[in-house]
């Protein structure tokens, strides 16, 4: 299995801050990485696919970068609505698809 490791597990920040979440793969996954946002009691929402392509209707303050084994999700200026959990997921290999353990972005 390809292991996905996110850091940090918890991130405390304030409205307006710029924040970055890192996701590392245990082997190269090229650019086949997605990012999801999940709010309590809700389903995950796709934010970014192919490492840096913004899904339709996702605000431009979200951006993704990286390739190979190291990837980042950046929120340029936090809005109140952005406080949630974030997950990366590799889809280079379906045997199996794997997710990071999640990053909980909380209000400082």
Partner 1 sequence: QLQLQESGPGLVKPSETLSLTCTVSGGSISSRSYYWGWIRQPPGKGLEWIGSIFYSGSTYYNPSLKSRVTISVDTSENQFSLILSSVTAADTAVYYCARLCDSGTNYWYFDLWGRGTLVTVSS
Is 103 a residue that touches partner 1 (CB under 8 A)? no
Is 100 a residue that touches partner 1 (CB under 8 A)? yes
Considering only the stretches 10-18, 20-28, 65-73, 95-103, report the one whose residues sit in contact with partner 1 under the rule CB under 8 A: 95-103
| Short-list 50, 43, 77, CA closest to 64 | 50
- For tokens 């996905």, the residue is 4
Print burial letters for 41-79: b (CB count within 10 Å at least 16), e (below 16).
eeebeebbbebbebeeebeeebbbebeebebbbebeebe
Among 14, 57, 96, 108, binds partner 1 (CB under 8 A): 96
Q: Quote the DSSP letter at residue 61.
A: T
Is 62 a residue that touches partner 1 (CB under 8 A)? no
Query: By rule CB under 8 A, what string of x and - marks binding of each residue 12-51 to partner 1?
Result: --------------------x-x-x-----xxxxx--xx-
- Residues 41, 84 contacting (CB under 8 angstroms): no
Site of interaction with partner 1 (CB under 8 A): 1, 32, 34, 36, 42-46, 49-50, 53, 55, 87, 89, 91-92, 94-102
């Amino acid at each position: 299995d390809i292991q996905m490791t996110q850091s940090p597990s918890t991130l405390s920040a304030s409205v307006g801050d710029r924040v970055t979440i890192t996701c590392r793969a245990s082997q190269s996954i090229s650019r086949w990485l997605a990012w999801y946002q999940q709010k309590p009691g809700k389903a995950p929402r796709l934010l970014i696919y192919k490492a840096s392509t913004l899904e339709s209707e996702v605000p431009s303050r979200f951006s993704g970068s990286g390739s190979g084994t190291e990837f980042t999700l950046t929120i340029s200026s936090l809005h109140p609505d952005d406080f949630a959990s974030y997950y990366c997921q590799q889809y280079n290999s379906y045997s199996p698809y794997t997710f990071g353990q999640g990053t909980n972005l909380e209000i400082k």
